[in-house]
Structure formats: structure tokens, C-alpha cells
Amino acid sequence: MLSIAGIANSIHQWLNETFSSGWATLLEFVLVGILVISFFAFLGLVLVFMERKVSAYMQLRVGPNRVGYKGLAQTLADTIKLVVKEGLTPDGADKFLFNFAPFLVLIASMLLMAPIAFAKDFQIWDINIGVLYITAISSISVIGVLMAGWSSNNKYSLLGAMRSGAQIVSYELSAGLAIMTIVILAGSIRLSDIIASQENGWWIFKGHIPAIIAFVIYIIAVTAETNRAPFDLAEAESELTAGFHTEYSGMKFALFFLSEYVNIFIVCAIGATLFLGGWMPLHIGHWEGFNHIMDFIPSSLWFMGKTFFLIFLIMWFRWTFPRLRIDQLLNLEWKYLLPISLFNLLLVTFIALMGWYF
């Protein structure tokens, strides 16, 4: 049967037959790098267009509808504009940090692509500490944001970066605790094991109430971590013009913009993997016939469908809720999400010990 994993395997075999194993590995590195970069570009185009259309329909507008068929080429035209534009570096800026920051943010996003399972047996690197790797790497991007804010030599950028730092650091706690819930239920931090443990039902159904609470907390926390409305104080357009990327233009701005959307994709992909079973089709207990029909839908489609459903959910939040103040933001985290997720962790540990999940 033709599958993504099959294609990957045949390429791997062909490379190993044609070249020595060292060269084959090197070529595979290059191939994976090219694939990840082109996937980033594709994601940027698709997600920006999706966001503009979703926001338009939620605000009773039509959205982009002039460039190309139904406006589909709009984001392509925007990208060309950004590539052609001059990338200005302010005179008072710290040149090295200023030019390095967008790449750091993007590299952090690229590293996060490694453990994500896009389809059955199709994963760049099935590392045995997958969940730990994800939580560790995702906190690197805040350094890039702080770098950008500091080196811009602009008070709005610095304020935005500081807000962003406070926000990401505090919301990582509840995101981590929500992930821990699933780690306890699945009994492993290797992502392929977590997906395999959902073969007879996704954790959001099998783990009933604690899993649902953890899912809601995870979605709220990652919305804050990706600096999106209603938690977009870091780049609050109306107060700080654009926050940490005020001084960026051209391609360097585009890299920040791209990494924002790629981060959304990544957190949604991880959410889909942990709570909605990743590439695992919808299986219900021992309904053999039903499970068999669901298996006919390709695993990559299941993964993309779930991820884009979560992305849509986050976009829905953005275009519905008003922005929080900084005190409300920290209240929400420290007074509500953190106690609830700690209690939830206790509850799920008890449930896992008693074996009360399905």
C-alpha cells in the first residue's frame, strides 16, 4: 500500500544502496532540512490565508478575495512583497543580536518539528524523551524574543519583550502540567508510545474528566505561549505598535511572522498527538467493523485534520475574546490555571493508579 512511511523507507533504502552509509545519512539530513523549510513556507502561506479568512467571516467581512482565484494567491503576493522589501537595521541597534534574533526564533521552531509524528511510522526523530524535548526546546524561543526586544533599542520593543517573557515563563508551568496528565495516563514520554497507547480510543475520551480539564488548560496555556490574542500583550498593536518586532522589516519581520504561525502549528500538533491520538484513526473500544472503516482514511489526513481543527479553535479564540490586562493575565495563570492543573494532576494520578480509565 502506498503510504508516506513507505515512500520514506524506499528513499532510505535507495540512498543506502547507492551511497556509503555515512553519505546516505548526510544526504538524509539535507533532504529532511529541505523538507522542513519548504513545509514551513507552505504552512506560512496556508495559515496566514486561513487566519485572514476565518477572522473576516467572524467579523462579518469577506476577507481577501481579489488576488488569484477567491484571493488564494494573496499570501503569496504578500510574501513576494516582504522578500523584496529592504531589511532595515536601526542605527542604535545592537547589530549582531538584532540580525540573529529572528533566526533563533525560527530555529527553535524547526527543532520542535523533529519529534512530531506526521503519519504512521513517519517521524524525523523518535527520541525516547519526546515530551521532555518538546517542553525544553519550546522555551528557547523566548530568548529570541527577548533578544529582539533588547537589541532594537526601542522602549516599546523592550516592554513587549519583557511582557512576552513573563507570560511565556508563567504559562509554561500549566502547559507542562497538562502534558504531564497524559504522560501519567500513557506511562511513557516517547511520542510514538503515547500515540500507540491511544489505539482503542483517544485520551480525551478514555481519560474522561481529568483529560478534558487538562485539554482545556493546555489549549489556554499554548495560546498564551504563542503570544496570540487574547494573550497578545507582547505585541499589543494598540499600545506597543507591534511589541518586540516593531523595528523589524522585510524578510526579518517575515521570519518572526512565520515563526508565530509555525509555533501555532507545532503546539496544535502536539496537542493533537497527546489528547486526540496523533495520526491514530478514531477507534472506539472493540467495535471491529467501525475501527476497520476508520483505518481506510490515511493516517496523515487524520493528523492534519486534528491539527487544523485545533488551529481553527485557537483562531476562534483570537477573533472572539478581548485582550487581557497584564494583571488579569498573571491572575489567570497563578490563581486559576496552576491550582486547577495541580489538583487535576493529583486526580489523574489517583485515577491512573486505580485503573479507572478505559
Partner 1 sequence: MSFLIDYIRTVYKSVRSLLIGMRKTGYYFTHHKEIITQNYPENRDTLNLPERFRGEVVMTHNEANEHRCTGCTACELACPNGTIKIVTKFDITPEGKKKKALDTFVYHLELCTMCNLCIEACPTSAIKMDQAFEHSVYDRRLLTKKLNKPDSKLMEGVE
Q: What does the binding site for partner 1 look like in residue numbers (CB under 8 A)?
A: 54, 57-62, 65, 316-317, 319-321, 336, 340
CB of 86 to partner 1, least distance (A): 30
Helix ranges (DSSP H) in the chain? 4-18, 21-58, 74-84, 95-112, 130-138, 141-151, 155-186, 191-196, 203-206, 208-225, 237-240, 250-275, 288-295, 299-318, 326-331, 338-354
One-letter amino acid for residue 278 of the chain? G
| Unique residue bearing C-alpha cell 486534528 | 306
Rank residues 39 and 319 by Cβ distance to partner 1 and give the closer one.
319
* Residues 204/105, Cβ–Cβ less than 8 Å: no
Rank residues 62 and 169 by Cβ distance to partner 1 and give the closer one.
62
Q: Which residues contact 62 (CB under 8 A, 6 or more apart)?
A: 56
d(CA 97, CA 106): 14
One-letter amino acid for residue 180 of the chain? M
Rank residues 290 and 319 by Cβ distance to partner 1 and give the closer one.
319
Taking the CA atoms of residue 58, residue 307, residue 220 and residue 63 in that order, the dihedral angle to the nearest 10 degrees is -20
* Partners of residue 117 on adjacent β-strands: 123
* Residues 254/197, Cβ–Cβ less than 8 Å: no
Rank residues 163 and 318 by Cβ distance to partner 1 and give the closer one.
318
CB of 352 to partner 1, least distance (A): 24
Rank residues 216 and 242 by Cβ distance to partner 1 and give the closer one.
216
Rank residues 68 and 187 by Cβ distance to partner 1 and give the closer one.
68
Gyration radius of the chain's alpha carbons? 21
CB of 58 to partner 1, least distance (A): 4
Taking the CA atoms of residue 196, residue 305, residue 170 and residue 198 in that order, the dihedral angle to the nearest 10 degrees is -20
Rank residues 57 and 350 by Cβ distance to partner 1 and give the closer one.
57
